[in-house]
Structure 1
Amino acid sequence: MKTLLILLLIFTALIATQRLFFSFSSQKIADYADTAPKMDIRRHLSGPLVSEGVIYGPNGRVVTRFVADMTGTWDEDGGTLQESFRYADGGGQERLWRISFSGDGSFTGEADDIVGVARGEQAGAVAHLRYSIRLPESSGGHVLDASDWLYLMENGTIMNRSEMRKFGVKVAELVATIRPAP
């Protein structure tokens, strides 16, 4: 029994180490400080935008696809990002982000389905945002911890990769593009 407990502890430590050093969460915003073009969400998420993406479930299979119409409105101190999602199953979802900026490249965000305050930062061609989101009741009403990484491409398109976790276990991943609306 003692040997089994020791093996379980070693296995748990190996998984934690792998997650820390070889996974999505091992990225740091400072890793991207010298990348270009320089991301400024007030500029690159401004005006009418369209986002297209997929959401993967815990088994790695696509659980839904979406298209979102977005509109960013900004001033020096902050602004709003309105998101209107249309899912492949015909469902929809609305979100209005209220975002405030600090002078050091960091920002905070709030929305009705966000628990507490989202915290973000920008460096080089990248923005990173961490928050907790409450799913709609039709999706179980669970609160998930989310980590969004937005990568600005040379042509102005933004690649968004997000990971959602519950109790530290990955339950979903989102991959999407965001670009100016035609």
Structure 2
Amino acid sequence: MRVLIVTLLALALVGCTGRPSLEGEKLSDRQLNLEEFFAGESVAHGQFQDRFGNVSRRFTVDIVGTWDGRLLTLVEDFVYEDGSTEQRVWSLTKTGPDSWVGTAPGVIGQAVGQENGDTFNWKYTIDLPLPDASAPPGTPPETLRVTFDDWMWLLTEDRLLNRAYMQKFGVTIGEVIISFEKR
């Protein structure tokens, strides 16, 4: 019984980690508009760290964005520190003055997002490919289904900071930190 109580308390504490809020105090009067920031070329640098703080993957992403007045298409070309590559193509539809929905290969259902001032929150579930150096060439990668709670802040007109919380079965398994810069 004591083990059960300790386990429940530990899970409750894990669930109490602070998260940003769209209603939180704004530190600037900038207005983030995804279609403006991501139209054209940008580059991002990021890393994944597990819930214990261990950094296990770093990457660079070259992004080309096109905006047609309703649809924002982002072509993201990832290059990981180990030399592996990946491409993800997002199709984001503006559904209101500050709201978005989106899809990309591997995304389960639709991603949903909301802008507020200099902040954007993006939530989705995705099957992420897992790196496996021992897999024979041409073998489809194994995937890990995770949920993202993605937060972005416009730091300057050409810089965006992103912190994404990754969860599996409702438990945070890690975070991704990314810095975007318009070219």
Q: Which of the five TM-score ranges fits, normalised by the shorter chain?
A: 0.7 to 0.9
How many angstroms apart in 2 are the aligned matches of 1:123 and 1:55?
26
Classify 1:154/1:97 alpha carbon distance in 2 versus 1 (closer, same or farther; 3 Å).
same
Which residue in 2 is equivalent to 1:165?
167
* Secondary structure of the structure 2 residue equivalent to 1:142: strand
How many angstroms apart in 2 are the aligned matches of 1:12 and 1:56?
21
Verify the 8 A CA contact 1:32 1:124 in the aligned structure 2.
no
Superposition deviation, residue 124 in structure 1: 0.4
Classify 1:100/1:159 alpha carbon distance in 2 versus 1 (closer, same or farther; 3 Å).
same
* Secondary structure of the structure 1 residue equivalent to 2:156: coil
Question: Identity across aligned pairs (percent)?
Answer: 26
Alignment equivalent of 1:100, drawn from 81, 93, 116: 93
* Secondary structure of the structure 1 residue equivalent to 2:143: coil
Q: Which has the higher strand share?
A: 2
Q: Once superposed, what is the RMSD of the aligned Cα atoms? A: 2.1
Which residue in 1 is equivalent to 2:143?
141
How many angstroms apart in 2 are the aligned matches of 1:60 and 1:79?
33
CA deviation vs aligned residue, 1:127-175 (integer Å, no higher than 9, x gap): 1100011011546411000011110013420001111110112212111
Which residue in 2 is equivalent to 1:30?
23
Superposition deviation, residue 64 in structure 1: 1.2
Task: Say how many residue pairs are matched.
Answer: 174
Kindly indicate whether residue 122 of structure 2 is the aligned counterpart of residue 129 of structure 1.
yes
Which residue in 2 is equivalent to 1:119?
112
User: Following superposition of structure 1 onto structure 2, how do residues 1-182 of structure 1 map, counting pairs within 5 Å?
Assistant: 1=1, 4=2, 7-8=5-6, 11=9, 14-15=12-13, 19-20=15-16, 22-24=17-19, 27-31=20-24, 35-138=28-131, 140-181=142-183
TM-score with structure 2 setting the length = 0.85
How many angstroms apart in 2 are the aligned matches of 1:168 and 1:99?
25
Verify the 8 A CA contact 1:32 1:126 in the aligned structure 2.
no
Q: Which amino acid aligns with 1:105?
A: D
Classify 1:9/1:55 alpha carbon distance in 2 versus 1 (closer, same or farther; 3 Å).
closer
Gaps of 5+ in 2: 133-141
Classify 1:153/1:47 alpha carbon distance in 2 versus 1 (closer, same or farther; 3 Å).
same
Gaps of 5+ in 1: none
Q: Which amino acid aligns with 2:111?
A: A
How many angstroms apart in 1 are the aligned matches of 2:175 and 2:81?
16
Q: Which has the higher helix share?
A: 1
